[in-house]
Amino acid sequence: MTSSPDAKLDPERAGAHWLEEEVLVLRDWVSNRTPEDTPAFNAAFKGILTQRTRHHSQGSSKDIHLMPENAAEPLRLRC
């Protein structure tokens, strides 16, 4: 996940892998650092909702694969 750099220790102490990124997507979880990152957060969240709505309306229960910037591998969402 990501958060404000000032709050980095709290997620790490809770077991999260913290990265300095504008927005991160992991399955259904979207996190961002600061209010300035809200447009990127909204775009990522909208992408998840759009794909879920599209697959749901088609009667699909297939996995969705998202590829966030700087991701090592696609994220898989189950619909």
pLDDT, one tens digit per residue, over 32-79 is 999 999 999 999 999 888 887 776 666 555 555 555 555 655 555 444
Q: Is the pTM of this model over 0.75?
A: no
74 or 15, higher pLDDT: 15
Q: Is the pLDDT of residue 22 over 80?
A: yes
Mean pLDDT on 13-31: 86
Q: Token pair for residue 75?
A: 């994220």
Q: Provide the H-helix boundaries in 1-79.
A: 9-13, 38-57
